[in-house]
Amino acid sequence: MTGDSRRGRGEEPNGDTPASGQGTSTPAPKAAVASPPTGVLFDDFDYTGPDDPALSANGWEVRGGEGGPGVKDTWSKDGVTFPAGEDAQGGQALQLRADTDGTEQGTRQSEFHRAGPTVLTGTLVARVYLSDEPTSGSDGDHISESFFTISPNHASSKYSELDFEYMPNGGWGLLGPRLDTTSWRNSELGDRVTSSHTEKLGGWHTMVITAVDGMTTYSVDGHTLFRSGSRYFPREGMSINFSAWFIDLPFKGPRTWDMRVDWLYYQAGKALPVKDAQKAVTGFSAAGTHYVNTLPKS
C-alpha cells in the first residue's frame, strides 16, 4: 500500500515548523477517520502465517490436500506466507509459492481463498506481483499465477467464474507469456468466453474485475483488456481466490515460483474507478487499518 501521508510531528498543516513562542502544549485533535462505505471488503494481509487464527476470523482459508487443477493432490498450506518488504507498500504481502523437483511427489501448489461466496457484482481490485521467471532453479515451467472468482459448486445451474490467469511460459499447448481473461458459464461443458494477451507482466500490477449492468470488464493498470456480455455475467455469489500451480511437469530438477498480493479491495454492486479504490487503500494504510468488511451478512 502507499505510504503514510500524515504530516510529521511538530509541523503545521502547511509543513512549516511552529514559530518560537507559539503555544504547542495542547496538541491539535486528530482528524476523525471516515467510516468505510457499506459493501466493502479490504485486506492488506497482515497475518503471521497459514495457521493464524485471524485468517478464519476474517473469512479466509488456505487450501491443503486433494484435487486439481494442475498436479492433483499437491496443495500445501506451507506455500502460503506473509513476508514483509519486497515492494509490498505498507508492510506485508500474501505470498503463494509453487515448487517442484519435477515429480508429482515432490510438488507443492498454493491457493488462498475466501471461505464462502463473497462477491457477485461490483468492482474487485488487487495489487498483484506476477513472476516471469522462477525465484530459484531452472526456468521453463508451465506455471499458472491466477486471480479469480468462482462458484462454490462446479455443478451449480448458476455456475459463475471470472478469471485472470498468467502463464509466463505458456501452457495448454500455447506459447507464452500469456494472460488469459475468461468468463465462465458452465465449467463442466466448457462454456466460456476468453481473450488471450501476449505480454510479459513480471512485476507489480493493479488488476481489476468489474461486473455491473450485465457486462464484465477485465483491466490491468488502467488498461481495459476484455469485456464479456450478459450470457457470461455472474449469476450467483463467488469466492475470491489466488493460486499458483503447475499445469504439468515438463522436466526434472528443483525450482520455485512465487506470486504475491499486496492488497485486495472490493466494492459490491457498483463500478468503482481504480483511483478511488487506491485512494481508499491509502486512507486505510494511513490509519493503520489492515482489514475492513462492511459487506451484508449472509
Give the pLDDT of residue 35: 82
Name the average pLDDT for the chain.
Answer: 90
Give the pLDDT of residue 279: 96
- pLDDT-based confidence at residue 88 (cuts at 50, 70, 90): low
Cell 493432490 sits on residue: 73
Q: What is the DSSP letter of 108?
A: B
pLDDT in tens, 223-247: 999 999 999 999 999 999 999 999 9
Give the pLDDT of residue 31: 45
Q: What is the mean pLDDT of residues 137-164?
A: 98
Give the pLDDT of residue 91: 76
CA dist., res. 145 & res. 267, Å (int): 23
Give the pLDDT of residue 297: 84
Give the pLDDT of residue 282: 94
- Answer for the pair 63, 245: CB distance below 8 angstroms, yes or no: no
Peptide bond into 29 cis (omega under 30): no
pLDDT in tens, 94-144: 999 999 999 999 999 999 999 999 999 999 999 999 999 999 999 999 999
Q: What is the mean pLDDT of residues 168-188?
A: 96
Q: What is the mean pLDDT of residues 207-220?
A: 99
Give the pLDDT of residue 2: 39
Q: Residue 150 forms beta bridges with which residues?
A: 161, 239
Helix/strand/coil for 220: strand
- pLDDT-based confidence at residue 19 (cuts at 50, 70, 90): very low
- Answer for the pair 109, 71: CB distance below 8 angstroms, yes or no: yes
Cell 488487487 sits on residue: 126
Assigned C-alpha cell, 264: 485486495
What are the helix and strand counts (H, E) for the chain? 2, 17
Give the pLDDT of residue 65: 87
Give the pLDDT of residue 275: 97
pLDDT in tens, 23-71: 444 544 444 556 888 999 999 999 999 999 999 999 999 999 899 999 9
Give the pLDDT of residue 36: 83
Give the global pTM. 0.87
More confident residue, 252 or 24: 252
Q: What is the DSSP letter of 65?
A: B
Give the pLDDT of residue 223: 97
Share of the chain above pLDDT 90, in %: 83
Quick one: which of 162, 149, 167, 163 has its CA closest to 244? 167
Exposed/middle/buried for residue 132 (C-beta within 10 Å: 0-12, 13-18, 19+) = middle
Q: Please provide the distance, in angstroms rounded to a whole number, between the alpha carbons at the two ends of the chain.
A: 29
**Sign, Cα dihedral of 82, 85, 89, 90:** positive
- pLDDT-based confidence at residue 11 (cuts at 50, 70, 90): very low
More confident residue, 90 or 267: 267
3-class SS string, 162-187: EEEEEECCCECCECCCEEEEEEEEEC
Q: Tell me which of 1.25.40.420, 1.10.1040.50, 2.60.120.200, 1.10.3720.10 is the CATH number of domain 40-293.
A: 2.60.120.200
